[in-house]
């Protein structure tokens, strides 16, 4: 919808697109009419797929304009990931919609019971700026695959992607399936006053709370995909060369503005001594001596974001000509402290040393002292160490000798726990999360075997 056209009779505090409520009614009506059955779902997903293939260049241009994203990174981490997930969901739509029979206890026989997956109805998807395509479309894949219609609110901080998605989704998928409402906090606030049947929010925890509270007023089920400080454990048994490469790669893609990016490293002082030079060498190998000149290195989303990150790293102001530039920095010793108070969400990598007397116990205690992270990464060859972290910590996901890429496996659920959010999606998890599993029981009327249960109740001794 064009947000320039405003004026909503139902709400005078915020300018929302004229006729928004008409759109909402219409979108819910599409689901209520029963039209969004399997053929509709498959067709909608195929149209979305065609959009991603045909308009890949246009989308990559928008991502480059918003975040300086290199095309190859966009191809893999934005467009490619969504196509991979979409193909997986496409394959599962029919099976997921099939009624699943359930056995009936003997006392209720004769009867038949089954579970039928149904769409919730109209879903609101609120997307962030950091992967503005992936995190807008991956929830839509699940929502459409489960037969919901969608209102998408992209992030105002990725304006080129927001506008491109609005135009392309309308053209390819059609506004009987998806309507895009562009805008920021004011528009989101106004949207959240309406009743939706499902709300999917991706972004920071502060706004996550606002969204969850607003949804709770309508008792609307909510999926919250939040972030947090995802730690990396590295020990002396690890292959430090590969560990350094994988940590730096996961950290610096999209200049650290990745929800599952490794936030900081936990290791002993002895490991830090060997790891830090390798991390620095990996940065130079991947981005050259001056990452500012590398075509593969992006920019912070806003000048303010760059300012926050530069202050956190103790750097001076950015060059006038390049105000969103933040260099990659490995922070050690006291320099790491300011970066340990909040999610970094930028190219700074604190290496925090733990007590060498009992390093695993200390690292686990530090992880448990914070909110449960979206991801935890372990670089170790020790089965015992893996076992301890697996059992004694909790996180949305656990990566062993990898960072970031677990979220490209469609068979794995993607989501947080505790402070990193709730609700899983991707692949079959999307179809489950975006559907209501309806319980159905059918019983013939004659003979009426339920008669034994009707009052007046006989004494137990009469029955047995």
Reduce the DSSP state of residue 355 to 3 states and report it.
Answer: coil
- Angle made by CA atoms 101, 105, 108, in degrees to the nearest 5: 100
**CB-wise, 75 or 207, nearer to ligand NAD?**
207
Site for ligand NAD in 393-422 (CB under 6 A): 416, 421
The only residue of 139, 221, 227, 399 in contact with ligand NAD, by rule CB under 6 A: 227
The secondary element (H helix, E strand) that includes residue 399 is strand 397-400
Token pair 């975006």 is found at 434
The only residue of 124, 200, 234, 259 in contact with ligand NAD, by rule CB under 6 A: 259
**CB-wise, 68 or 203, nearer to ligand NAD?**
203
Least distance between ligand NAD and beta carbon 205 (Å): 7
Least distance between ligand NAD and beta carbon 211 (Å): 6
- Angle made by CA atoms 130, 135, 137, in degrees to the nearest 5: 140
Reduce the DSSP state of residue 442 to 3 states and report it.
Answer: strand
Least distance between ligand NAD and beta carbon 254 (Å): 10
One character per residue 290-319, x = contact with ligand NAD (rule: CB under 6 A): ------------------------------
Report how far residue 314's alpha carbon sits from residue 335's, in angstroms, rounded to the nearest whole number. Answer: 8
Reduce the DSSP state of residue 250 to 3 states and report it.
Answer: helix
Residue 36: C-alpha distances to residues 20, 33, 144, 179 (Å): 21, 8, 8, 16
Query: Which member of 225, 267, 343, 371 is catalytic?
Result: 225
Residue 225 touching ligand NAD (CB under 6 A) = yes
Is 387 exposed, middle or buried, given 0-12, 13-18 or 19+ CB atoms closer than 10 A? Answer: exposed
- Which span (114-122, 129-137, 350-358, 438-446) binds ligand NAD, by CB under 6 A? 129-137
Peptide bond before residue 447 is cis, with ω within 30 degrees of 0: yes
- Which span (30-38, 183-191, 248-256, 312-320) binds ligand NAD, by CB under 6 A? 183-191
Reduce the DSSP state of residue 298 to 3 states and report it.
Answer: coil
Least distance between ligand NAD and beta carbon 290 (Å): 28
The only residue of 40, 120, 129, 233 in contact with ligand NAD, by rule CB under 6 A: 129
Judged by CB under 6 A, the number of residues near ligand NAD is 28
Peptide bond before residue 216 is cis, with ω within 30 degrees of 0: no
145 in Cβ contact with 431 (< 8 Å) = yes
Handedness of CA 203, 86, 71, 59 (dihedral sign): negative
Residue 374 touching ligand NAD (CB under 6 A) = yes
Residue 153 touching ligand NAD (CB under 6 A) = yes
Least distance between ligand NAD and beta carbon 420 (Å): 7
**CB-wise, 11 or 156, nearer to ligand NAD?**
156
267 in catalytic set:
no
One character per residue 185-224, x = contact with ligand NAD (rule: CB under 6 A): x--xx------------xxx--x--x--------------
Strands 348-353 and 329-332: parallel
Residue 370 touching ligand NAD (CB under 6 A) = no
Give the pair of three-digit tokens for residue 124. 């609101």
Residue 180 touching ligand NAD (CB under 6 A) = no
Is 350 exposed, middle or buried, given 0-12, 13-18 or 19+ CB atoms closer than 10 A? Answer: buried
Reduce the DSSP state of residue 117 to 3 states and report it.
Answer: strand
115 in Cβ contact with 107 (< 8 Å) = no
Query: Which member of 73, 259, 267, 343 is catalytic?
Result: 259
- Which span (38-46, 225-233, 328-336, 451-459) binds ligand NAD, by CB under 6 A? 225-233
Report how far residue 341's alpha carbon sits from residue 338's, in angstroms, rounded to the nearest whole number. Answer: 6
**CB-wise, 67 or 360, nearer to ligand NAD?**
67
Residue 139 touching ligand NAD (CB under 6 A) = no
- Which span (27-35, 99-107, 184-192, 247-255) binds ligand NAD, by CB under 6 A? 184-192
Residue 127 touching ligand NAD (CB under 6 A) = yes
End-to-end, the C-alpha distance of the chain in Å comes to 67
One character per residue 345-364, x = contact with ligand NAD (rule: CB under 6 A): x-------------------
Residue 87 touching ligand NAD (CB under 6 A) = no
Give the nearest residue (CB) to ligand NAD.
227
Query: What secondary structure letter does DSSP report for 66?
Result: H
The only residue of 3, 155, 353, 424 in contact with ligand NAD, by rule CB under 6 A: 155
Report the candidate in 123, 148, 198, 172 with the shortest Cα–Cα distance to residue 37.
148
Give the pair of three-digit tokens for residue 316. 């001076």
Which distant-in-sequence residues (6+ apart) come within 8 Å of 293 by Cβ?
none
Backbone angles phi, psi at 123, to 5 degrees: -105, 140
Least distance between ligand NAD and beta carbon 92 (Å): 21
259 in catalytic set:
yes
The residues assigned a catalytic role are: 225, 259
Contact positions vs ligand NAD (CB under 6 A): 126-130, 135, 153, 155-157, 184-185, 188-189, 202-204, 207, 210, 225-227, 259, 343, 345, 374, 416, 421
């Amino acid at each position: 919808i064009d947000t320039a056209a405003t004026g909503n009779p139902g709400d005078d505090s915020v300018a929302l697109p004229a006729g928004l409520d008409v759109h909402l009614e219409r979108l819910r009506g599409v689901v209520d009419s029963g039209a969004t059955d399997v053929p509709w779902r498959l067709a909608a997903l195929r149209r979305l797929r065609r959009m991603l293939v045909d308009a890949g260049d246009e989308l990559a241009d928008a991502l480059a304009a918003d975040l300086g994203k290199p095309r190859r990174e966009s191809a893999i981490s934005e467009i490619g990931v969504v196509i991979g997930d979409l193909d997986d969901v496409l394959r599962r739509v029919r099976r997921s919609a099939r009624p699943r029979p359930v056995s009936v206890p003997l006392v209720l026989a004769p009867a038949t019971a089954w579970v039928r997956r149904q769409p919730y109805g109209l879903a609101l998807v609120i997307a962030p700026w950091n992967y503005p395509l992936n995190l807008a479309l991956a929830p839509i894949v699940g929502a459409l695959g489960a037969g919901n219609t969608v209102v998408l609110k992209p992030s105002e901080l990725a304006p080129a992607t927001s506008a491109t998605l609005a135009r392309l989704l309308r053209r390819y998928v059609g506004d009987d399936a998806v309507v895009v409402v562009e805008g920021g906090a004011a528009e989101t606030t106004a949207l959240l006053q309406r009743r939706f049947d499902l709300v999917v929010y991706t972004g920071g925890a502060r706004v996550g709370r606002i969204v969850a509270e607003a949804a709770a007023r309508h008792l609307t089920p909510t999926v919250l995909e939040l972030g947090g400080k995802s730690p990396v454990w590295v020990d002396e048994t690890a292959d430090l060369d590969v560990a350094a490469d994988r940590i730096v790669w996961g950290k610096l893609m999209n200049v650290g503005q990745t929800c599952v990016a490794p936030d900081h490293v936990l290791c002993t002082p002895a490991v830090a001594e060997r790891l830090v030079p390798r991390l620095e060498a990996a940065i130079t190998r991947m981005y050259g001596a001056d990452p500012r000149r590398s075509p593969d290195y992006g920019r912070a989303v806003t000048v303010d974001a760059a300012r926050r990150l530069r202050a956190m790293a103790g750097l001076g102001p950015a060059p006038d000509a390049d105000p969103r530039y933040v260099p990659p920095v490995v922070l050690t010793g006291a320099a790491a402290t300011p970066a340990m108070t909040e999610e970094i969400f930028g190219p700074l990598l604190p290496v925090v040393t733990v007590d060498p007397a009992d390093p695993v116990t200390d690292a686990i205690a530090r992880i448990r002292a914070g909110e449960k992270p979206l991801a935890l990464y372990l670089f170790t060859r020790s089965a015992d160490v893996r076992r301890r972290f697996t059992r004694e910590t909790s996180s949305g996901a656990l990566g062993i000798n990898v960072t970031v890429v677990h979220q490209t496996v469609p068979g794995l659920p993607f989501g947080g726990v505790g402070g990193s959010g709730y609700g899983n999606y991707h692949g079959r998890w999307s179809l489950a999360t975006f559907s209501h599993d309806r319980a159905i029981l059918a019983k013939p009327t004659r003979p009426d075997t339920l008669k034994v249960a009707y009052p007046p109740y006989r004494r137990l001794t009469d029955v047995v």
